[in-house]
């Protein structure tokens, strides 16, 4: 990536009727944003023909596409049918994302289900090694991105995700800074953000900062449960201006997908704040 693009997780709220994905991509371009994430979070419901239209529209309007796989994925599921279904959902997302021209797929990897994290990690590593190889075989330009998660009951601490991406070739992180803050109750200052980016670079190399996939929003949380809900950035304690400052100083490139309730309003605010020097 040559720059850091800002966009929305889903169709902008101000999209003209009919509020479909094609008009949503056009609206992203009209707003001066550069990317959007295709939200398949409740299932992949798109035909191959529709996906081809999405690809054509995104290319015409120069909007970069990423995708988010369904929420119903748990690669630590104890029942075999649920484990198989989880893998199939990732493969299905990869198929449609590739036809849409999307390059990256963010996904929630697993719940611990009261299993020791040290036992969950090798299971996920084994499963994802096979999944990544299969997806790369079929869709060369698709990158799976396990997301940093905001609840302590979920697999997805910073250390877990970075280690997994270092040990499974072809896997890259989706860094949700709001989740990172809510999971720890910390990591909310310029120096902590800079340290996080340095950790990513140390473990995964400079190339990881040259093509980052970032999720960002305000966040409501508590010490016990971690993440509770997404908020607009100016309605939460997330120190987003210092995060943007750290991203700029480290010359981070890639995409920032805004997941605030007001979507494009915050995406534009984040872009403006970043361009002003944070």
Give the residue numbers spanning the domain of 58.
4-275
Q: Spell 114-137 as b/e; 16+ CB within 10 A means b.
A: eeeeeebbebbeebbbebbeebbe
Give the separation between CA 15 and CA 23, rounded to whole angstroms: 6
pLDDT in tens, the chain (278 residues): 789 999 999 999 999 999 999 999 999 999 999 999 999 999 999 999 999 999 999 999 999 999 999 999 999 999 999 999 999 999 999 999 999 999 999 999 999 999 999 999 999 999 999 999 999 999 989 999 999 999 999 999 999 999 999 999 999 999 999 999 999 889 999 999 999 999 999 999 999 999 999 999 999 999 899 999 999 999 999 999 999 999 999 999 999 999 999 999 999 999 999 999 85
CATH number reported for the structural domain that contains residue 85 in this entry = 3.20.20.150
Full-prediction pTM beyond 0.75? yes
Task: Look at residue 273 and give its three-state secondary structure.
Answer: helix
Residue 263, both tokens: 């979507």
Contact 10, 263 (CB under 8 A): yes
Contact 211, 252 (CB under 8 A): no
Give the separation between CA 260 and CA 271, rounded to whole angstroms: 14
- CA 150 to centroid of chain Cα atoms: 13
- The number of folded domains in the chain is 1
- DSSP-derived secondary structure for 26-45: HHHHHHT--EEEEE-TT---
């Amino acid at each position: 990536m040559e720059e850091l693009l800002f966009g929305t997780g889903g169709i902008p709220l101000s999209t003209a009727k009919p509020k479909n994905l094609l008009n949503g991509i056009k609206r992203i371009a009209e707003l001066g944003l550069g990317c959007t994430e295709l939200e398949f979070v409740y299932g992949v419901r798109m035909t191959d023909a529709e996906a081809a239209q999405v690809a054509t529209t995104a290319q015409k309007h120069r909007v970069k596409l990423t995708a988010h796989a369904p929420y119903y994925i748990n690669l630590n599921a104890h029942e075999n049918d649920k484990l198989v279904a989880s893998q199939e959902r990732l493969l299905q997302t990869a198929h449609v994302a590739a036809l849409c021209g999307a390059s990256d797929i963010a996904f929630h990897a697993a719940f611990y289900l009261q299993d020791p994290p040290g036992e969950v990690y090798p299971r996920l590593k084994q499963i994802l090694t096979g999944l990544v190889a299969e997806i790369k075989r079929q869709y060369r330009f698709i990158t799976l991105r396990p997301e940093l998660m905001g609840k302590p009951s979920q697999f997805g601490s910073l250390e877990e995700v970075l280690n997994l991406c270092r040990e499974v070739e072809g896997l890259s992180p989706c860094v949700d800074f709001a989740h990172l803050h809510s999971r720890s109750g910390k990591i909310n200052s310029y120096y902590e953000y800079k340290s996080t980016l340095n950790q990513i670079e140390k473990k995964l190399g400079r190339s990881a900062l040259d093509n980052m996939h970032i999720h960002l929003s305000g966040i409501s949380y508590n010490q016990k449960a971690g993440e509770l809900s997404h908020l607009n950035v100016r309605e939460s304690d997330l120190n987003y201006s210092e995060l943007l400052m750290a991203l700029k100083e480290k010359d981070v490139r890639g995409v920032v997908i805004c997941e605030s309730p007001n979507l494009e309003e915050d995406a534009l605010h984040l872009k403006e704040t970043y361009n002003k020097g944070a």
